Amino acid sequence: MARVTEPSVVADPKVIAGLDAYQALPAAQQPTWYSQEALELSRKELSVLPPLVFAGEVDRLRDRLAQAASGNAFLLQGGDCAETFADATADRIRNRVKTLLQMSVVLMYGSSLPVIKMGRMAGQFAKPRSNNDETRNGVTLPAYRGDAVNGYDFTAESRLNDPKRLVQAYHTSASTLNLVRAFTTGGFADLRSVHDWNKGFTDNPANARYESLAKEIDRAISFMESAGVNFDGLSSTEFYVSHEGLLFDYDRPLTRIDSRTGTPYVTSGHFIWIGERTRQLDGAHVDFLSRVRNPIGVKLGPTTQPQDVRDLIEKLDPEREPGRLTFITRMGAGKIREEMPKLVEAVKGTGANPLWITDPMHGNGITTKNGYKSRRFDDVMDEVRGFFEVHKAAGTFPGGIHIELTGDD
Ligand code: PEP
């Protein structure tokens, strides 16, 4: 009798053991949970909850990123610095998606390239911190590490590193992703709705510029519709989610073995990146993420050396697989033109073709007079320009942009 489904591939025990090899390595930026027992319960619960993303989607994203790495697509990755449980409302999620759709249409129109849309969303609930603790007026409490770990309010109760929050992060990610999938496949993302994405913020000069571009797109679409082109394919769009792979107690229990191939996928997001503070070659993050099939990003700050880049390629992309590895540079506007060329050159001759994208936010941080962490818009723009200049000079592709944004005015 013909088989209707493929048999499941049983995972090699060595693959599972390898996934846990990170436990013997130094792991930076991990919270000290208030209870080991509570942590075990949360990890157990996460390990049996359904995956948030699927292996087939992850594989498709890898193909898309391979296109961007060779200059045939552009990646737009953006979202909150850190998501919060309180902000996971329908309005706020819709506004963030809307902002990304608006930005992608401008990029598409300007570059005539497909734009891969990816949110820092549905999992971006943890942050690396410079210090483990924070002291205010003589009181010391654990630093806020994101809603997946503790609360923002400066009280002992709120700052408790509580593993139950890992499970809440999963459920909040699930409902965020559900809405994102509905918005991006249910007609909201239809290119014929470009005007609808621009409601509000009418006193912002960018609004008028966007409106005139939307009018041009409308005209082009009407012209092509009248010529018989079928635009039904434009009514939905692929949308991927990503987060920093920071907390092993979240990402490891959500790592599953794909029944088709017997290989592991982190199922808490399509794309996982390693932060500037956790990219040590012999550290736990690089080891763990070297063993999963997801496309992996690595942040590269201004102290990165050419040999670091070559070592990261060897460790994370030994097979030189198209779309596997993305370097996210965050040098700072004042340093990019000086520090980046040698990194781009270092890749030549390795046989790898990583995707290069720019994060013009994290190397340009300033603290405002009232204590807010911020960036100057001109610095952000200057780093983006520098990124394009360096690639142009090297003959390589500037393949995308990684930014922090909200859907607010
Ligand atoms: C981030 O992207 O949230 C972040 C902390 O970036 P980096 O690792 O580049 O500092």
Higher pLDDT, 202 or 72: 72
**pLDDT value for 2:** 44
User: Which residue in 65, 50, 49 sits closest to 238, CA to CA?
Assistant: 65
Contacts of residue 165, defined as CB under 8 A and 6 or more positions apart, other chains included, come to 147, 148, 149, 150
Span 259-295, pLDDT tens digits: 999 999 999 999 999 999 999 999 999 999 999 999 9
Beta carbons within 10 angstroms of residue 191's beta carbon: 18
Distance CA 183, CA 281 (A): 39
224: pLDDT strictly greater than 90: no
Span 341-395, pLDDT tens digits: 999 999 999 999 999 999 999 999 999 988 888 999 999 999 999 999 999 999 9
Higher pLDDT, 248 or 197: 248
Distance 374 CA to ligand 1 centre (A): 14
Number of H helices, E strands in the chain: 11, 14
Q: Relative to the CA of 277, which ligand 1 atom is closest?
A: 8
Contacts of residue 228, defined as CB under 8 A and 6 or more positions apart, other chains included, come to none
Atom 3, ligand 1: residue with shortest CA distance: 81
What average pLDDT does range 105-112 have in this prediction? 89
**pLDDT value for 96:** 93
What average pLDDT does range 11-39 have in this prediction? 93
Taking CB atoms and a 6 Å cutoff, what residues make up the pocket around ligand 1?
81, 128, 244, 275-277, 299, 330, 362
- Secondary structure of 56-102 as H, E, C letters: HHHHHHHHHHHHHHCCCCEEEEEECCCCCCCCCCHHHHHHHHHHHHH
**pLDDT value for 88:** 97
Which residues are paired to 241 by β-bridges? Answer: 119
Distance 248 CA to ligand 1 centre (A): 17
Query: φ and ψ at 77, to 5 degrees?
Result: -120, 120
Distance 275 CA to ligand 1 centre (A): 5
Span 87-104, pLDDT tens digits: 999 999 999 998 998 899
pLDDT band per the 50, 70, 90 thresholds, residue 233: low
pLDDT band per the 50, 70, 90 thresholds, residue 228: confident
**pLDDT value for 1:** 43
**pLDDT value for 200:** 62
User: Which residue in 203, 166, 184, 115 sits closest to 400, CA to CA?
Assistant: 115
**pLDDT value for 129:** 96
Q: Relative to the CA of 359, which ligand 1 atom is closest?
A: 9
**pLDDT value for 213:** 82
146: pLDDT strictly greater than 80: yes
3: pLDDT strictly greater than 70: no
Q: Relative to the CA of 301, which ligand 1 atom is closest?
A: 9
pTM (2 d.p.): 0.94
